[in-house]
Amino acid sequence: MRSQTRRGFLRNVGAAPAGAVLAGSAVSAARVAGANDRIRIGLIGCGGMGRGDLRDFLRAGKVECVALCDVDLSQIGKAQELTLGPFSQKAEFTTQDFRRLIDRKDIDAVIVGTPDHWHALPTVMACLSGKDVYVEKPLSVSIGEGRVMVDAARKHGRVVQMGTQQRSASHYTAAVEYVKSGNLGKIRLVRSWAYLDWVGETEPKPDTAPPDGVDYDLWLGPARQRPFNENRFHFSFRWYWDYSGGLMTDWGAHMIDIANWGMGIKAPGSAMSIGGKYGYPNDAADTPDTQQVLWQFPEFSMIWEHAIGVGRGAETREHGVQFHGSNGVLVVDRGGWEVYPETDRVLTKSREYRSAGVPRQSAGSEDYHRLHVQNFLDCMRSRERPRSDVEIGHNSMIACHLGNIAFRLGRRVDWDVENERVINDPEAQKYVMREYRAPWKLEA
């Protein structure tokens, strides 16, 4: 089963308790409540996922797209076609520089659908300018970026939602409620995975000049200077450390988020990882096509595994999350969930089961991406925290980033959960915040 359609700076910061109503936003709420409750948005990043987000924003009604931004003019054209076609709207302002969009005073919220290395800066700057933000997953390309994003949202009283739409799916909600009910018994292991047979080899290609209509220096932004290469542009940027974290942060952002939700956790105490370019050893990607990560928590362990070019993962499924309890094993994916009863032969020689299990509960045809967008719009009006609040997204990304740090260093990394620091490993600590190319800065 494939995914749904993809995909002045901050200074002093403050925090607020999870689940609270956002403070300091009376002006924003009043503005949104006016003009017939119409919300005016701008899209930063007009690629496939950005346009998918924009489509569902406009489908929600009482939403007007007034600005489009992309470093690639052809992508702006595709987004403009979308607004003109089924929605009979035309964005009145287009630009290649996201800062010009954020500077506009008539925008209530921005969608950040850029490549991953461009998620943090537009989000923080939008918060500073008094705008709410719907930012695609992964929230960030480093743990430090995520923390700055959370603090910016809290300091400026902004609604910031990460695009992990499974949080708005009723079947995921039901599965998580079952996990939390205690019916599975003591959970000692959580497993998550993504095996994608529809993603293959990144064939080497020569460096070239950027395409006409592309501001390549702005596309690179805070990433290091490199010649233009088609492999590092648009969709396949996610296979390069400069711009993303491979499948660990791509699909891991979704699966680990469900694991965190079910277990009610913030972050692991340590991470270990192995893997490599085993399926396609000579391709052009940086990130591993095969990877396993093991995280330690106080009362259970968690495993991630992924592979590109093959599709039979755990439970013979492409992707999923498995909660292994003493009474049963709950497995959930985008198609539904079920519980397999655990066996008991400790006291008897016959095979007995510790629970009745739960037959497959289908996800049906629910459009939970659209529901996720609607939740964000509703929270813009109520000023409540959204289902995938920025801090929820940040916490889920910590495990993903720690897994990649452990992989890149080839050793176990211990983590101080409360202070968000690596323990006794200065080299690993350097990965917690990305180094930005001048003149770009992300300051906390």
Q: What percent of the chain has pLDDT over 70?
A: 91
pLDDT digits (tens, 9 = 90+) for 425-442: 999 999 999 999 999 999
| pLDDT at res. 338 | 98
- Whether residue 23 is predicted with pLDDT greater than 90 in this model: the reply is no
| Per-residue pLDDT at 18 exceeds 60 | no
CA distances from 314 to 168, 260, 337, 394, 396 (A): 24, 19, 14, 26, 21
More confident residue, 20 or 301: 301
Provide the domain limits for residue 264: 168-209+237-368+397-425
**Residue 14: pLDDT above 80?**
no
Peptide bond into 115 cis (omega under 30): no
Q: Give the CATH number, domain containing residue 203.
A: 3.30.360.10
Please say if the pLDDT value at position 25 is more than 70: no
Residue 311 lies in a domain: yes
**pLDDT at res. 32:** 59
Residue 354 burial (CB < 10 Å; 0-12/13-18/19+)? middle
Band the pLDDT of 8: cuts 50, 70, 90: very low
Residue 33 has pLDDT above 90, yes or no: no
* pLDDT of res. 4: 38
pLDDT at 9 over 60: no
| pLDDT the model gives residue 201 | 96
Beta strand ranges found along 89-181 (DSSP E): 93-95, 109-112, 132-135, 160-162
Is 136 contained in some domain? no
The pLDDT of residue 31 is 60
Q: Could you tell me if residue 443 is inside a domain?
A: no
Report if residue 178 sits inside a domain: yes
Is residue 90 a part of any domain in this protein? no
- pLDDT (tens digit, 9 = 90+) per residue, 146-189? 999 999 999 999 999 999 999 999 999 999 999 999 999 999 99
Helix or strand holding residue 255 (H, E): helix 252-263
Average pLDDT over residues 317-332: 98
pLDDT in tens, 102-115: 999 999 999 999 99
Burial class (CB in 10 A: 0-12, 13-18, 19+), 41: buried
Q: Is the dihedral of CA 394, 397, 403, 404 positive or negative?
A: negative
Average pLDDT over residues 223-249: 97
Which whole number is the average pLDDT over 295-321? 97
pLDDT tens digit sequence for 37-84: 899 999 999 999 999 999 999 999 999 999 999 999 999 999 999 999
- Calculate mean pLDDT across residues 382-404: 98
> Please, which contacts does 241-244 make with residues 24 or more away whose CB atoms are closer than 8 Å?
241/286, 241/287, 241/408, 242/117, 242/286, 243/115, 243/116, 243/117, 243/141, 244/115, 244/116, 244/117, 244/138, 244/141, 244/287
The pLDDT value given to residue 37: 85
- For residue 216, tell me if it sits in a domain: no
Q: Is residue 417 in a domain?
A: yes
User: Is 0.85 topped by the overall pTM?
Assistant: yes
Confidence category of residue 19, pLDDT binned at 50, 70, 90: very low
Of the given ranges (9-23, 183-197, 230-244, 288-302), which has the lowest mean pLDDT? 9-23
CA distance 158 to 102: 14
Instruction: Count the domains in the chain.
Output: 1
Q: Are 7 and 52 in contact (CB under 8 A)?
A: yes
* Structure tokens belonging to residue 372: 């996720």
Q: Is residue 430 part of a domain?
A: no
Residue 6: the pLDDT is: 32
